[in-house]
Amino acid sequence: MRDIAAKSNEVVAGLGVPYTWITSYVAGDKIYCVHEAASAGVIERHAREGGFPANKITEVSAIIGPATARASSYCCGGMRLPEHLLPIPKMPLVG
């Protein structure tokens, strides 16, 4: 895992475009990665240059959790919620 992470970091540093590896999840014999990039093409380039399989790239349109049931853009007499509690920008999920 350490070698894979090091190679990914090396490739990201050399891409020359905004790119953030958010996290990866290991589930059985698969790894699901969350990256923030301008396009699926940049993620494909990262995978190709790193020697990683990217069998499917899917855009994440929303994140939900327990707090989602209570969330509203406004609360407390019209005061706006902090940005981190609002819907997040779309980001791709690689798996």
**What is the Cα 15 distance to its own chain's centre?**
17
Domain boundaries, the chain: 2-94
pLDDT digits (tens, 9 = 90+) for 54-82: 888 988 888 787 877 776 554 444 445 45
83 — pLDDT class (breaks 50, 70, 90): low
May I ask the CATH class of domain 2-94? alpha beta
pLDDT at res. 74: 47
Specify the residue for token string 């959790």: 65
pLDDT at res. 76: 46
pTM confidence score = 0.66
pLDDT at res. 68: 76
pLDDT digits (tens, 9 = 90+) for 40-51: 999 999 999 999
93 — pLDDT class (breaks 50, 70, 90): low
